[in-house]
Structure 1
């Protein structure tokens, strides 16, 4: 038998690694991506009060303001928030894992 001992096992492992790299990265801790959940906070009757309190229309509020409103109204500490004027809601994203 010619070749280096263990050479076949090495090339078989390399082939599997190239075919499915995510399974090999998992062992190195590189595949620990956070999992997010999206949600909506509908503010139909509260928009006028919020705009009066903040001094700006909902469309002009910064993301930080929207995150504060989420925390005040629902107790949610979100990663991101965006105003959706079509549905009168704050669309948010929360890390769950």
Structure 2
């Protein structure tokens, strides 16, 4: 997930909180509900982006594992090391995705 996506989701969440608060202050239940809906949309979009990134990282980690195993089977140290490096990179990206 890009920084722009995170910012977009945070902005929509903040807008929703402001709308909800304005609705409470004015007694306007419709605006209050719209604010909650905006927040829910922002949280859902954020979760969807995280899920996409998780799937991508799992795929990269599996690809790295396949390279590592292929390198071990063929006795190609370079390929084995590249595979391990790809796995570490995928895990690091996943850690940052939290």
TM-score > 0.5, shorter chain as reference: no
Q: Which structure dedicates a bigger proportion of its chain to strand?
A: 1
Q: Which has the higher helix share?
A: 2
Greater relative contact order (CA < 8 Å, ≥ 6 in sequence)? 1
Greater CA radius of gyration, 1 or 2? 1
